[in-house]
């Protein structure tokens, strides 16, 4: 568990909200929610959410740090933007959901085996290797994320799709061996590393209340 | 026209709009001259045309016609054309009332003609009983407005009346002007975000503003037209609009008497007493405070942080509990919501964000957040934008301690929670500072007979004299027969027709403004004060000319009585819905023209029929009833008398005709000012005359009354409840006389009710009193 | 047309709805000379199209009757209908108003006898009923219209119907050659009372007002409840004319929403509570009402009105902004969303859905003929720069009738102050 993760949160106090505002992308919008619920009702994946967006916003205000950050709800967002379009207060809900997910991941609070989180990780690692996504490896890693047996089954289930992608040249068998990439891979990796450092430094620490107060 | 001028009667018959086609105009003319005995009878093919109007005008100016019947369309049509205000005039409705209400068939021809003939007879009989009304001259133009209450409402009313050129006497009970607003740190912003404001995190949204009370006080004090009386109360108000005599007494005991034209009562509100709410433990900790106390804390903070009362510690967290003691059906709590508490709490939460920094948590626990309008919703956004946290929840208990614990149920998360904060602010409701309700004790009178009622009132008066229990202090000390103060409508608010005519109280010339009328905030109170000032100066002008106030605006007639016939029974003084009638030293009724609203409820109440208006009396209607031609029994043509409220039932019947609804050919409709003016003698006369049925159509009565005279229709219904006795003596079936509540929209129902009576008569048979 | 006689001590009232009528009458009854300009052919504005008022459930036409009687009787008041102020120049105490008069084709000779309506044939959408019914090309706008005159639809001018109407009139009241005119006159002060219009519900895309017959607006529902309205007062589904017993109200349809109107329209909660009474009065125990809301804003001291509806067994309150409406069985609108009190999803079918659409100012922000301070929502704010122009009623904010009348009464005084100053200055 990260050091960032020791914050003492009191119920219905603003410390968690402040943390979200500081560390979560578009987090400063959370306080603007008026609990109408149109986001929750508009989400096409809504029924899979343990806590829909508007409830998550309320939980943030109520100081439910652990529950929010360990929730798998925000991992459900598919970026359809229905909620943003309909939100009467113009909250960038999609971005906030991704922001919360990223923040939870950073703190190591993401639920184990959360498939979307896993996929995101695989996607990221895949892309970081060469600076481009290797569709073949991405697909395979995804299939085999839960082990060899399920991987084979999953691969067979999707074989038609795979064939089509091959035909459309969206995927090539040769990619298995290395695959294509950007010109200056190490340059890219350096750049990302630096960005990560900057982001980590920017991130407010919420384990020392005094520190959070000056911010 | 000199007073002695001979009465010259004329009837003008319009033959336009199909009247001439449907009816035998010659017969109408003959009816007017032979039966109606009019001196002049003329026909015109379009009476409302310039030519037609000029014909009448010439007769008035050159031929000395001073009493005219306009036979044609309804009194609701072509009013502007037939505005002959210098004579006594009545309208005889044979368009909407006859030809439009009857089918154009050969079969119906005879009864339709009879209907029209009858209406002409009736109108001719009526005009003979009428005189052109002229004001009493009881009062002149008195340009002084009395404003009671020196808070924001009173001061605004004073300034606005003074700006229009009137003099103001402003009476304030305390030692300073300013009222509640003077105690506020800031006010809720008056305006919404300006045009072009984007919906971005850094947009300029409205923030709490300076109250500006200092400038307003200075404006009052610096205005030559406003005289301020501090430490003063109104100890006696007598008279009527245009001639009020008001005693203003200071604490030291001095009394000044001022002549006043009209009055604005702006006595504001007090906060509900939090001690009545044990669950919020107001008494349990100095850190559980009222919303008003918070204003004082904020004022005391100066430029520094707001500190909590118990130990002077800087507040780092504050929680607002909304609507405490409001919206409750529990005994002793407020059944209503002040409606402004959420805006006030947002404002106050922002004090903390400003004084104690963004790190100070401010939470508002609300159920339904009420921030209406454009400024309201923008201020809600502003509160959120600045970090105020809103929690839809029910606060169950506030527990004192080093930190205050708030136990609540979060309605969104659907779970119980406990929050510890430094300070809790209770959003208390507004309780109107109205005087005692003149009618509060009189629920005991409902349903009593007149005699019992009078007795009960006497008893109550005697009892009140030696009453020792604590009473609400009177504000106006009206020297009126019906009590010292403005009547209440609901929950202590002095109100009346609060939708269409919000300023009409039940005491003419006395206008309530601000939170004494309904809960409201500073901006609304200032708007309200301006409106009340408008009504106050209007009443000054009306009273000066002897013109009635709402709803018979401009009416110059007023009630008088025949002293020798009066039995001093007091019914008129008791039943007047506006407390207009006092008793003189000899215990005779004393009509105060300028207080009177001309409904005629007194006239209807009078058992000896001595009260009348110049153009409306027991005789103006009685004569119509008598002159109506009653066919012999074997003609099998019943007659149904319909007494219809002129504001609602009569227009409903008119509209029925306009919409092509049929009205029974047996009906004879007479508009009345209010059903409250209905004299029992009209019923008796009609029955004796051979009418087979009588329908009275008045407005809805009770709590949600729609009667324009508030209690007129109620009084009528109570009186008519006893009409059974009359019927019994005459040996008639009780169903021959009915009272209906009829609304202006009862366009189909009103004719149907007449049809119903037709069927009743078919069942019980024609009246045996036809001779 | 009534001739306008005015001076710089005259008060011009723009708009003849409840606010404009009130301001005009209060000022005129105090002795001021008033010219009232109304765009429609009759007075009364939006409230004349309401069936009942909250919370008394009384009828707007009742107060309208009194106000119209006041108007008919007052010699200080000149009413000009079919007219719009196109320009206002000058300053407090000294304005020149330019007023555009639409051709009316019907003069004051009209006796409202109705012969012209019998003569014409073509039918048009009846705007008084929000297009839910048809009217003739010669028509009485409604049964209480004041001035009580028939109106010729401009669309029939030049057709046979126009000539038929003219031929049917026995009173020489129809002038088919009437043209648009512009008049100018001086005024001292102006009460601006142009009121509101219902927000265009079709713009709220997820609710499908333009796609589903059984989704109506609250103003339309008001007409449906009126016995003189298009359904004879019966609450019926537009799609098949069947009784609508299971009715849903969607609050804040367009209000409190940055996609539509930022402001809260104040009245819609009370209006839906009132309209709930219509449904329950019509169908008794068979009625089912669901009210979907964000906050129920029972204004003033009217909490008891809310409490009374809440206590009804067949009325449900759901704290939710409905996400979308989809087509259910038998053209039932299906409401989808989340009840936020504890997170419950729903997909519920109703017979009929009423959108509690909000109020927006009648005059759009960029088309004011006079320079006044306007807020983001297009309402006029009180300001020095407004000079002798005073907003009344819903031109100043989303108001209920009570507040609109209050506001108008106050505006009348503000205008009187200006003209009284002029009078004093001119001796």
Domain of residue C74, CATH code = 3.50.50.60
- Please report all neighbours of B, defined by 3+ CB atom pairs within 8 A: A, C
The answer to whether C229 touches B747, Cβ cutoff 8 Å, is no
Range B234-261 average pLDDT: 96
Chain B and chain C share a number of CB contacts under 8 A equal to 264
Number of folded domains that form chain B: 4
The C-alpha of A111 sits at a distance from chain C's nearest C-alpha, in angstroms, of: 22
- pLDDT surpassing 90 at residue B235: yes
d(CA B559, CA B675): 16
Residue B468 has pLDDT above 50, yes or no: no
Average per-residue pLDDT in chain B? 94
The whole-angstrom separation of Cα B246 and Cα B265 is 13
Q: What is the pLDDT of residues B506-565, one digit of tens each?
A: 999 999 999 999 999 999 999 999 999 999 999 999 999 999 999 999 999 999 999 999
Asked whether residue C109 is domain-assigned, the answer is no
Beta-bridge mates of residue C184: C98
Res B448: pLDDT:
59
> Does A215 have pLDDT greater than 90?
no
Which tens digit of pLDDT belongs to each residue from B606-618?
A: 999 999 999 999 9
3-state SS, one letter per residue, for C167-184: HHCCCCCECCCCCCEEEE
Q: Which residues of B touch C376 (CB under 8 A)?
A: 192-197, 374, 378
Q: Residues C344, C375: one domain?
A: no
Q: How confident is the model over C312-363, as pLDDT tens digits? A: 999 999 999 999 999 999 999 999 999 999 999 999 999 999 999 999 999 9
The pLDDT value given to residue C358: 94
Query: Which range among B11-20, B716-725, B736-745, C227-236 shows the weakest confidence by mean pLDDT?
Result: B716-725
pTM score: 0.94
Residue B138 confidence (pLDDT): 86
Say yes or no to pLDDT of B3 above 70: no
Q: Which two tokens stand for residue B160?
A: 């606005």
Same domain, B172 and B227: yes
Q: Which of B208, B248, B272 is nearest to B427 (CA)?
A: B272
B405 shares a domain with B338: yes
CATH of the domain at B324: 3.50.50.60
Instruction: Look at residue B1 in the predicted model and tell me its pLDDT.
Output: 42
Whether residues C370 and C410 fall in one domain: yes
**Segment (H or E) for B350:** helix B341-355
The CA distance from B305 to B360, in Å, is 10
pLDDT tens track for C375-422: 999 999 999 999 999 999 999 999 999 999 999 999 999 999 999 999
- Residue B721 near residue B453 (C-beta atoms within 8 A): no
Q: What does each C-alpha distance from C172 to B349, B667, C116 come to in angstroms?
A: 68, 34, 11
In a domain, C175, yes or no: no
Residue A129 or residue C98, greater confidence:
C98
Is the residue at B385 inside a domain? yes
Reported as a single tens digit per residue, the pLDDT across C15-54 is 999 999 999 999 999 999 999 999 999 999 999 999 999 9
Q: Give, for B458, the enclosing helix (H) or strand (E).
A: helix B450-465
Q: Provide the mean pLDDT of chain C.
A: 96
- B226 and B289 together in one domain: no
Average pLDDT on B149-156 reads 98
Which chain A positions have a beta carbon within 8 Å of C339's beta carbon?
A: 37
For residue B641, give its domain range: 630-771
* B250 and B103 within one domain: no
Residue C128: domain span: 115-168
pLDDT value, residue B465: 54
**Three-state SS string across A165-203, please?**
HHHCCCCCHHHHCCCCCCCCHHHHHHHHHHHHHHHHHHC
How many domains does one find in chain C? Answer: 3
Determine what percent of chain A is predicted with pLDDT higher than 90. 43
Mark whether B284 and B262 lie in a shared domain: no
C332 and C208 together in one domain: yes
Average pLDDT over residues B23-31: 97
Q: Does residue B409 lie within any of the structural domains? A: yes
Tokens at residue B596, please? 């009177």
In a domain, C1, yes or no: no
C174 inside domain: no
pLDDT tens per residue, range C178-218 = 999 999 999 999 999 999 999 999 999 999 999 999 999 99
Indicate yes or no: CB of B199 within 8 angstroms of CB of A90.
Answer: yes
Both ends of chain A: CA-CA distance in Å? Answer: 23
**pLDDT for the residue numbered B456:** 66
Q: Quote the pLDDT of residue B459.
A: 67
pLDDT more than 70, % of chain C:
100
Q: Which helix (H) or strand (E) holds C417?
A: helix C401-425
- Cβ-based contacts of A17 with chain B (< 8 Å): 389
**pLDDT score of B466:** 53
Q: Which of B375, B398, B430 is the last residue of a domain?
A: B430
In sequence order, what are the beta bridge partners of B245?
Answer: B238, B259
Chain segment B747-764, per-residue pLDDT in tens: 999 999 999 999 999 999
| C407 shares a domain with C336 | no
| Same domain membership, residue B324 and residue B253 | no
Chain B neighbours among C 185-224 (CB < 8 Å)?
none
Task: Tell the residue number behind the tokens 């005189």, with chain if given.
Answer: B131
Q: What is the rounded CA–CA span in Å between residue C314 and residue C292?
A: 14
C345 and C368 assigned to the same domain: no
Q: Using an 8 Å Cβ cutoff, are C326 and C316 in contact?
A: no
pLDDT tens, residue by residue, B548-607: 999 999 999 999 999 999 999 999 999 999 999 999 999 999 999 999 999 999 999 999
C304 and C270 in one domain?
Answer: yes
Does one domain contain both B169 and B251? yes
Please tell me whether residues C285 and C396 are part of one structural domain: no
What's the pLDDT tens digit per position in A53-63? Answer: 999 999 999 99
Nearest chain A residue to B366 by CA distance is A34
| Closest CB to C258 among B199, B337, B745 | B199
Q: State the pLDDT confidence band at A209, using cuts at 50, 70 and 90.
A: very low
Q: Does B389 contact A12 at a Cβ distance shorter than 8 Å? A: yes
pLDDT for B446 equals 53
pLDDT tens for B386-418 read 999 999 999 999 999 999 999 999 999 999 999
* CATH number of the CATH domain containing B646: 3.40.50
pLDDT at A5: 57
If DSSP codes are grouped into helix, strand and coil, which group holds residue C340? Answer: coil
Q: Using the beta-carbon criterion (under 8 Å), do A11 and B418 form an inter-chain contact? A: yes
Q: Which residue of A has its CA nearest to C336?
A: A41
Residues in chain A with CB shorter than 8 Å from the CB of C259 are 85-86, 88
- Indicate if C275 and C343 belong to the same structural domain: yes
Return the SS3 of B555: coil
Task: Give yes or no: residues C367 and C354 share one domain.
Answer: no
Ranges of each domain in chain A: 8-110, 115-194
Tell me the pLDDT band of B220, cut-offs 50, 70 and 90. Answer: very high
> Quick one: pLDDT band at residue A19, thresholds 50, 70, 90?
very high
Whether B34 is in a domain gets the answer yes
C405:B500 CB<8 A: yes
Find how far residue C384's CA is from the centre of its chain.
29
Q: Could you tell me if C258 and C380 lie in one domain?
A: no
Last residue of a domain, one of C332, C358, C384: C358
User: Does the pLDDT of residue A208 top 60, yes or no?
Assistant: no
Q: Identify the closest residue of chain B to C420 by CA–CA distance.
A: B164
Residue A213 pLDDT greater than 60, yes or no: no
Cα B383 versus chain centre, distance: 38
Please determine, for residue C100, whether its predicted confidence score (pLDDT) is greater than 70: yes
- Structure token pair of residue C307: 């409490």
If you measure CA to CA, which chain C residue comes closest to A51? C343
User: Which of the four CATH numbers 3.20.20.70, 3.40.50.2300, 1.10.1060.10, 3.40.50.720 does domain A8-110 have?
Assistant: 1.10.1060.10
- In the DSSP assignment, the letter for residue B429 is P
> Is residue B258 domain-shared with residue B278, that is, in the same domain?
no
**C349 and C223, same structural domain?**
yes
- Which of B111, B132, B153 corresponds to the end of one domain? B132
* pLDDT higher than 60, residue B690: yes
The closest alpha carbon to B308, from B228, B407, B401, belongs to B401
pLDDT beyond 60 at A8: no
Which of residues 370 through 399 in chain C touch B, CB cutoff 8 A? 374-379, 381-382, 397-399
For residue B211, cis peptide bond before it (omega within 30 degrees of 0): no
Are C98 and C212 in the same domain?
no
Given a cut of 90, whether residue A202 has pLDDT beyond it is no
Domain-embedded: residue C353: yes
Q: Any chain B CB within 8 A of the CB of A5? A: no
Whether residue B135 is predicted with pLDDT greater than 70 in this model: the reply is: yes
**Does B279 share its domain with B420?**
yes
Q: What confidence score (pLDDT) does residue B444 get?
A: 54
Whether A142 shows a pLDDT value over 90: the answer reads no
* Residue B469, pLDDT score: 45
pLDDT(B421) > 90: yes
Residue among A13, A32, A90 minimizing CB distance to B317: A13
Q: Take residue B280 and report the two structure tokens written for it.
A: 């919020």
pLDDT tops 60 at residue C371 = yes
C270-295 per-position pLDDT tens digit: 999 999 999 999 999 999 999 999 99
pLDDT score recorded for residue B67: 98
Residue C173 maps to a domain:
no
Parallel, antiparallel, or unpaired: how do β-strands C33-38 and B423-428 relate?
Answer: unpaired
Cα A113 to Cα B675: distance, rounded to the nearest angstrom: 80
Residues B379 and B261 in one domain: no
């Amino acid at each position: 568990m990260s050091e960032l993760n020791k914050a003492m949160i009191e119920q219905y106090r603003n410390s968690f909200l402040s943390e979200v505002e500081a560390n979560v992308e578009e987090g400063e919008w959370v306080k603007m929610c008026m609990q109408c619920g149109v986001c929750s009702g508009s989400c096409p994946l809504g029924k899979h959410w343990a806590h829909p967006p508007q409830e998550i916003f309320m939980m943030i205000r109520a100081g439910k740090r652990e529950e929010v950050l360990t929730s798998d709800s925000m991992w459900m967002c598919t970026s359809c933007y229905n909620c943003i379009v309909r939100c009467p207060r113009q909250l960038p809900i999609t971005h906030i959901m991704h922001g919360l997910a990223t923040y939870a991941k950073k703190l190591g609070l993401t639920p184990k085996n959360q498939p979307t989180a896993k996929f995101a990780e695989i996607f990221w690692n895949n892309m970081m290797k060469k600076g481009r996504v290797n569709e073949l490896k991405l697909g395979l890693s995804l299939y085999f994320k839960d082990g060899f047996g399920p991987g084979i089954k999953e691969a067979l289930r999707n074989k038609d799709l795979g064939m089509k992608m091959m035909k459309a040249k969206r995927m090539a068998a040769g990619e298995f061996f290395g695959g294509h990439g950007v010109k200056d891979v190490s340059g890219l990796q350096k750049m990302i590393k630096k960005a990560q450092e900057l982001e980590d430094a920017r991130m407010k620490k919420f384990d020392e209340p005094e520190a959070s107060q000056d911010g | 026209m000199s007073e002695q001028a001979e009465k010259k009667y004329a009837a003008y018959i319009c033959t336009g709009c199909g009247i001439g086609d449907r009816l035998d105009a010659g017969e109408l003319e003959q009816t007017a001259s032979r039966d109606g005995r009019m001196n002049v009878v003329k026909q015109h093919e379009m009476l409302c045309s310039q030519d037609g109007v000029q014909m009448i005008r010439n007769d008035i100016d050159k031929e000395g016609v001073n009493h005219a019947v306009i036979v044609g369309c309804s009194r609701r049509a072509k009013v502007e054309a037939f505005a002959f205000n210098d004579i006594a005039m009545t309208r005889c409705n044979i368009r909407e009332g006859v030809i439009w209400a009857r089918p154009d068939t050969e079969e119906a021809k005879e009864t339709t003609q009879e209907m029209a003939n009858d209406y002409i007879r009736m109108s001719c009989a009526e005009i003979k009983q009428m005189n052109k009304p002229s004001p009493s001259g009881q009062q002149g133009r008195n340009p002084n407005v009395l404003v009671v209450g020196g808070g924001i409402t009173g001061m605004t009313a004073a300034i606005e009346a003074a700006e229009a050129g009137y003099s103001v006497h402003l009476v304030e009970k305390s030692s300073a002007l300013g009222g509640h607003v003077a105690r506020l740190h800031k006010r809720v912003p008056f305006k919404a975000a300006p045009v072009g404001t984007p919906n971005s995190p850094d947009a300029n949204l409205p923030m709490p503003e300076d109250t500006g009370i200092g400038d307003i006080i200075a404006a009052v004090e610096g205005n030559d037209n406003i005289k301020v009386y501090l430490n003063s109360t109104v100890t006696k108000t007598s008279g009527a609009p245009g001639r009020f005599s008001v005693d203003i007494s200071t604490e030291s005991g001095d009394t000044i008497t001022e002549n006043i034209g009209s009055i604005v009562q702006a006595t504001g509100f007090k906060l509900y007493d939090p001690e009545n709410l044990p669950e919020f433990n107001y008494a349990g900790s100095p850190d559980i405070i009222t919303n008003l106390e918070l204003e004082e804390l904020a004022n005391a903070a100066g430029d520094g942080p707001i500190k909590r009362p118990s130990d002077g510690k800087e507040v780092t967290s504050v929680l607002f509990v909304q609507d405490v003691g409001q919206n409750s059906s529990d005994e002793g709590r407020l059944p209503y919501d002040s409606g402004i508490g959420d805006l006030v709490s947002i404002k106050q939460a922002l004090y903390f964000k400003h004084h104690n920094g963004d790190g100070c948590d401010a939470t508002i626990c609300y159920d339904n957040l009420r921030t209406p309008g454009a400024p309201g919703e923008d201020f809600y956004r502003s509160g959120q934008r600045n970090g105020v946290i809103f929690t839809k929840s029910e606060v169950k208990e506030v527990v004192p301690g080093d930190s205050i614990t708030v136990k609540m149920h979060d309605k969104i998360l659907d779970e119980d929670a406990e929050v510890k904060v430094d300070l809790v602010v209770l959003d208390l409701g507004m309780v109107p500072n109205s005087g005692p309700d003149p009618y509060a004790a009189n629920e005991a009178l409902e349903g009593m007979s007149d005699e019992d009622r009078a007795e009960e009132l006497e008893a109550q008066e005697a009892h009140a004299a030696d009453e020792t229990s604590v009473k609400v202090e009177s504000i106006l000390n009206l020297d009126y027969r019906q009590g010292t103060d403005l009547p209440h409508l609901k929950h202590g608010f002095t109100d009346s027709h609060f939708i269409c005519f919000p300023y009409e109280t039940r005491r003419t010339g006395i206008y309530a403004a601000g939170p004494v009328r309904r809960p409201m905030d500073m901006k609304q109170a200032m708007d309200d004060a301006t409106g009340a000032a408008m009504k106050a100066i209007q009443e000054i002008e009306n009273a000066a000319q002897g013109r009635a106030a709402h709803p018979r605006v401009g009416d110059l007639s007023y009630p008088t009585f025949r002293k020798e016939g009066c039995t001093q029974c007091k019914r008129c003084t008791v039943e007047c819905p506006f407390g207009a009638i006092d008793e003189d030293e000899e215990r005779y009724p004393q009509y105060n023209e300028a207080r009177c609203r001309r409904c005629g409820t007194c006239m209807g109440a009078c058992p000896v029929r001595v009260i009348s208006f110049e153009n409306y009396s027991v005789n103006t209607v009685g004569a119509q009833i008598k002159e109506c031609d009653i066919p012999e029994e074997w003609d099998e043509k019943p007659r149904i008398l319909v007494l219809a409220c002129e504001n609602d039932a009569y227009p409903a019947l008119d509209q029925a005709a306009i919409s092509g609804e049929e009205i029974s050919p047996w009906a004879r409709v007479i508009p009345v000012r209010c059903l409250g003016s209905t004299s029992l003698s009209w019923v008796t006369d009609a029955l004796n005359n051979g009418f087979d049925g009588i329908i009275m159509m008045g407005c809805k009565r009770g709590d949600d009354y729609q009667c324009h005279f508030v209690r007129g229709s109620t009084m009528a219904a109570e009186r008519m409840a006893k009409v059974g006795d009359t019927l019994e003596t005459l040996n008639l079936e009780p169903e021959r006389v009915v009272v209906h509540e009829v609304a202006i929209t009862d366009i189909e129902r009103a004719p149907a009710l007449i049809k119903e009576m037709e069927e009743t008569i078919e069942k019980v048979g024609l009246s045996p009193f036809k001779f | 047309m009534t001739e306008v006689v005015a001076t710089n001590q005259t008060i011009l009232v723009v708009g003849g709805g409840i606010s404009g009528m009130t301001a005009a009458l209060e000022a005129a009854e105090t002795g001021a000379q008033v010219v009232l300009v109304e765009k429609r052919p009759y007075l009364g504005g939006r409230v004349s199209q309401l069936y009942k008022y909250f919370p008394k459930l009384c009828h707007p036409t009742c107060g309208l009757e009194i106000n119209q009687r006041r108007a008919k009787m007052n010699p200080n008041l000149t009413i000009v209908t079919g007219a719009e102020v196109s320009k206002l120049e000058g300053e407090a105490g000294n304005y020149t108003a330019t007023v555009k008069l639409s051709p009316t084709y019907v003069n004051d000779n009209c006796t409202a006898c109705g012969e012209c309506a019998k003569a014409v044939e073509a039918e048009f959408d009846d705007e008084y009923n929000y297009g839910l019914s048809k009217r003739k090309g010669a028509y009485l706008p409604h049964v209480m219209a004041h001035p009580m005159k028939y109106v010729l639809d401009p669309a029939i001018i030049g057709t046979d119907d126009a000539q038929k109407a003219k031929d049917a009139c026995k009173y020489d009241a129809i002038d088919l050659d009437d043209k648009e005119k512009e008049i100018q006159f001086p005024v001292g002060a102006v009460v601006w009372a142009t009121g509101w219009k219902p927000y265009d519900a079709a713009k709220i895309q997820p609710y499908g007002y333009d796609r589903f017959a059984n989704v109506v607006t609250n103003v339309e529902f008001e007409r449906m409840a009126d016995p003189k309205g298009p359904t004879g007062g019966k609450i019926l589904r537009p799609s098949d004319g069947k009784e609508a017993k299971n009715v849903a109200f969607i609050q804040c349809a367009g209000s409190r929403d940055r996609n539509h109107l930022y402001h809260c329209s104040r009245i819609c909660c009370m209006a839906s509570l009132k309209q709930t009474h219509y449904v329950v009065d019509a169908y008794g125990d068979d009625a089912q009402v669901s009210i979907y809301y964000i906050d129920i804003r029972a204004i003033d001291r009217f909490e008891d009105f809310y409490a009374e509806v809440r206590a009804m067994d067949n009325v449900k309150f759901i704290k939710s902004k409905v996400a979308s409406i989809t087509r259910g069985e038998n053209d039932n609108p299906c409401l989808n969303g989340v009840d936020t009190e504890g997170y419950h999803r729903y997909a519920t079918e109703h017979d009929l859905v009423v959108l509690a659409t909000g109020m927006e100012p009648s005059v759009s922000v960029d088309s004011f003929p006079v320079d006044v301070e306007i807020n983001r929502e297009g309402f006029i704010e009180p300001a020095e720069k407004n000079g002798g122009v005073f907003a009344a009623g819903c031109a100043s904010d989303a108001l209920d009738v009570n507040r609109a009348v209050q506001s108008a009464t106050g505006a009348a005084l503000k205008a009187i102050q200006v003209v009284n100053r002029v009078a004093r200055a001119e001796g």
